[in-house]
Amino acid sequence: MNTHSTASLNLAAGFEQKTARIGILGLGYVGLPLVLRFSEVGYKVVGFDIDQAKVDMLARKRSYIDHISAEKIGVAIDNGFEATTDFSRAAEVDALIVCVPTPLNKHREPDLSFVIDTVESIVPHLRPGQVLSLESTTYPGTTEEELLPRVESRGLRVGSDFFLVYSPEREDPGNPNFTTRTIPKVCGGHTPACLQVGLALYGQVIDRVVPVRSTRAAELTKLLENIQRAVNIGLVNEMKMIADKMGIDIFEVVDAAATKPFGFTPYYPGPGLGGHCIPIDPFYLTWKAREYSLNTHFIELAGEINRDMPQWVVGKIADALNERNKPLKGSRVLALGIAYKRDVDDMRESPSVMVMELLRDKGVHIEYSDPNVPVFPKMREHRFDLSSVELTPESLASYDCVVLLTDHSRFSYDLILEHAQLIVDTRGKYRDVREKVVKA
């Protein structure tokens, strides 16, 4: 039989001619930018989400993500973009792209419930001539083991009249140098015909699509990318603790090492790992590796170091206050920056929140200031009834300690330095300041 079916050729042609309709399932930090990119180049896009509030905001041409403007939403709506909670409309589109969370459960094991629930909600509406693409980060084998049998339960022949691909998301929120279009995209298909369709789907909106020979290879590629970062950050966080005991500034050391023009990539320490990928993804591979009687010692060790960083920061705060004859319990502490990284509003897995919880549990009166998070959001595991504190000379001076956790560019660092009684700096922002600054 010909490697590429008539259905795959027709579907690929529809993507190339932009007559095919695109469905994005999950309208969060990954799905919404993808909606805007497909809409921007001329596709009709339907966005699916279980959150009616998100759908209503989009219908009103409003954004709920800090770095995505309402103006861009409005342009997409004017170009025919629709958002809906009605998953039966999956039958209307030619491509179904799944962009939903893949967190860990309380046992630190993969939680695929969002992916499986989403796929099962569209399975009754699948038809020949469609492609299903999973973008959510997961362990190798997920596409074949979880998506393939559910699609085939509809009587669809994958690789012949229906197509299945895995193409991991790559987003760097807060980084103005990269966009959805300019970040190269890896794509693997269940069959060669599936890959052909996947390349046609993404090739119209991404500058460079990188093919790999299987969905499993694409799944492992995403894990390797993020595990490399997790391991290197774990290494530099361990080096930070060693340097601290030796009275050496780790930021000076990293900057000096980075002058080597080969063989060294600078990673900088912080209060821990945050975001929806790097603190989570290593555990997906660790869990899957057990099926093959393998132990991922190296990966797990880095995870332990990064997980313990908030405890290290709290210890540094306690020591700094003790040096000033103030007990930790009863102290007033202000957390500066609670999003997981600079210049975003994303709170997922933020180490800042871990630090806040540890301090609260030790009897600290904790508050926060974050220009990107005006009100502490509702989170599954973390609860604070707080709003962001405005930074003024008076407010800064009222705290026994301010701890810099996320170094947003909108903070006035001179104002903070001038009026705070004590600064615990986890980001190296005050690396050349000795008075009233403690490095953590």
HEC assignment per residue over 86-154: CHHHHHHCCEEEECCCCCECCCCCECCHHHHHHHHHHHHHCCCCEEEEECCCCCCCHHHHHHHHHHHCC
Report the 10 Å Cβ neighbour count for 411.
19
Total tally of structural domains belonging to the chain = 2
Q: Do 57 and 162 reside in the same domain of the chain?
A: yes
Q: Is the pLDDT of residue 174 over 80?
A: no
pTM over 0.75: yes
Active site residue 401: no
C-alpha 206/C-alpha 331 separation (Å) is 51
Q: Same domain for 428 and 281?
A: yes
Measured between alpha carbons, how far is 143 from 165 in angstroms, rounded to an integer? 8
Q: Are residues 103 and 157 in the same domain?
A: yes
Residue 227 in any domain: the answer is no
Q: Are residues 149 and 250 in the same domain?
A: no
> pLDDT (tens digit, 9 = 90+) per residue, 390-431?
999 999 999 999 999 999 999 999 999 999 999 999 999 998
Same domain, 283 and 417: yes
**Cα gap 240→248, rounded to integer Å:** 9
- 170, part of any domain: yes
User: Whole-number mean pLDDT of the chain?
Assistant: 94
Q: Are residues 189 and 254 in the same domain?
A: no
Q: Is residue 39 domain-shared with residue 87, that is, in the same domain?
A: yes
CATH number at residue 118: 3.40.50.720
Whether the per-residue pLDDT at 1 is higher than 50: the answer is no
Whether residue 232 lies inside any domain: the answer is no
Phi then psi for residue 219, to 5 deg, are: -65, -40
Q: Is residue 149 in a domain?
A: yes
Other CB atoms closer than 10 Å to residue 425's CB: what's the count?
24
Is residue 407 domain-resident? Answer: yes
What range does the domain containing 292 cover?
237-439
Query: Which of 388, 390, 424, 427 lies closest to 406 in space, CA to CA?
Result: 427
Q: Are residues 179 and 246 in the same domain?
A: no
Q: Which residues, 6 or more positions from 257, have their beta carbon under 8 angstroms from its beta carbon?
A: 264, 266
**In this structure, is residue 220 part of a structural domain?**
no
The torsion angle over the Cα atoms of residues 63, 64, 66 and 69, rounded to 10 degrees, is 0
End residue of a domain, out of 181, 213, 245: 213
Whether residues 253 and 108 fall in one domain: no
- Is residue 229 included in any domain, yes or no? no
> What's the CA gap between 362 and 355, in Å, rounded?
11
pLDDT value at position 274? 81
Tell whether 197 and 242 lie within a shared domain. Answer: no
The string of pLDDT tens digits covering residues 65-104 is 888 999 999 999 999 999 999 999 999 999 999 999 998 8
Domain identity same for 139 and 243: no
Which of 99, 187, 194, 277 is catalytic? The answer is 277
Model confidence at 346, pLDDT cuts 50, 70, 90, reads confident
Q: Do 383 and 415 share a domain, yes or no?
A: yes
